[in-house]
Amino acid sequence: TRKIIIDTDPGQDDAVAILLALGSPELEVLGLTAVAGNVPLPLTQKNARIVCELAGRPDLPVFAGCDRPLRHPLVTAEHVHGKTGLDGPQMADPVMPLQEQHGVDFIIDTLRAEPSGTVTLCPLGPLTNIATAFARAPDIIERVQEIVLMGGAYFQVGNITPAAEFNIYVDPEAAMAVFASGVPLVVAPLDVTHKALTTAPRVEAFRALGTEVGRMVAAWTDFFERFDKEKYGSAGAPLHDPCVIAYLLKPELFTGRFINVEIEVNSPLTRGMTVADWWRVTDRAPNALFLGDLDAEGFFALLVERLARL
């Protein structure tokens, strides 16, 4: 099994990613760290606990991390995810506890305690917690096995500004630090996540599981869908964050290029842009496997199969 820490700002698509991980025996989730992103931290940490309980895993440690980006005020995405961040179905408040330790300290302690090169970080939101951990404890950087994250865009460009994807835009300074860290990086940008589109039959397949998890995932994707349908005229909602977990489980579902990716932090117009050297027109050293294509049928088959185990 592969040990992972999920760093997240749930978010319906984060929730589905967490469920996919918890339904997969190949992955050992050491803990979840919440970050401010789609909605403020008090809601993201609560939503993370709701999802763990839904998966029947109230034993998992959930930590609250950073409540704001490194340098800029928090930008949220209630216009996509609703007021709670998990709008759609009615959900009861979680009863499992929030850990007292700060999420950043959990990341640092875990990377120091586990054998070097055995823990993968899976950021599904702004990169504030990861960058803060790296800044505070640089010794952990070389101990990270890999970072597989959802963020950025190249051909598909922006969803929060014309140039920037939400997770990177919210904390570009944090993203810059992570992309410059030297840790092996795999990036699932909008280019690939917009291929993981829910369609009516795909949502039906969730519902047809006949389980609480299936019903919730269907209700979340129904809610989440309305935004992308109206906005982009697309068939359904992109399941952004589950691409990260699917990559860990079945990398052969994806193709991409190992290229140089830099983060724009200065320009007011393009702040948070992932400047991806897809055509290798510079001699800047490659630092990320930037995913570009996805076998969507294989992706949804995997998702349904794993959700069925919960």
Closer Cβ to ligand BDR, 99 or 159, answer by number: 159
Angle at which helix 128-136 crosses helix 172-179, to 10 degrees, equals: 60
CA-closest candidate to residue 147, choices 19, 248, 62, 29? 248
The Cα 165–Cα 153 span in angstroms is 6
Residue selected from 171, 241, 262, 264 as contacting ligand BDR according to rule CB under 6 A: 241
Options 33, 38, 99, 156; binder of ligand BDR; rule CB under 6 A: 38
> Minimum Å distance from CB 241 to ligand BDR?
5
3-state percent breakdown (helix, strand, coil) of the chain, nearest 5? 40, 20, 40
Q: Contact at 8 Å (CB) between 168 and 272?
A: yes
CA 191 to chain centre: 15
Binder among 49, 240, 271, 306 for ligand BDR (CB under 6 A): 240
Least Cβ distance, residue 160 to ligand BDR (angstroms): 7
- Which burial class, exposed, middle or buried, applies to 54 when counting CB atoms under 10 A from its CB (0-12, 13-18, 19+)? buried
Output 126 or 260, the one with its CB closest to Ca ion.
126
Q: Is 102 a catalytic residue?
A: no
Residue 159 binding: pick among Ca ion, ligand BDR, none (C-beta 5-8 Å cut-off by kind)? ligand BDR
275 beta partners: 262
Contact code string over 244-283 relative to Ca ion, x by CB under 5 A: ----------------------------------------
Among residues 150, 175, 176, 186, the one that binds ligand BDR under rule CB under 6 A: 150
Taking CB under 6 A as the criterion, the residue among 7, 13, 222, 262 binding ligand BDR is 13
How many CA within 13 A on the CB side of residue 81?
23
Residues numbered 155 to 174 that lie near ligand BDR (CB under 6 A) are 159, 165-167
Neighbouring C-beta atoms of residue 138, cutoff 10 Å: 10
For residue 304, count other CB atoms closer than 10 A to its CB. Answer: 16
Helical (H) or strand (E) element with 203? helix 200-207
Select the span of 8-16, 39-47, 114-122, 132-140 touching ligand BDR (CB under 6 A): 8-16
Give the residues lining the site for Ca ion (CB under 5 A): 9, 11, 14, 124-125, 241
Residues forming the active site: 240
Give the residues lining the site for ligand BDR (CB under 6 A): 11, 13-14, 38, 77, 80, 124-125, 150, 159, 165-167, 240-241
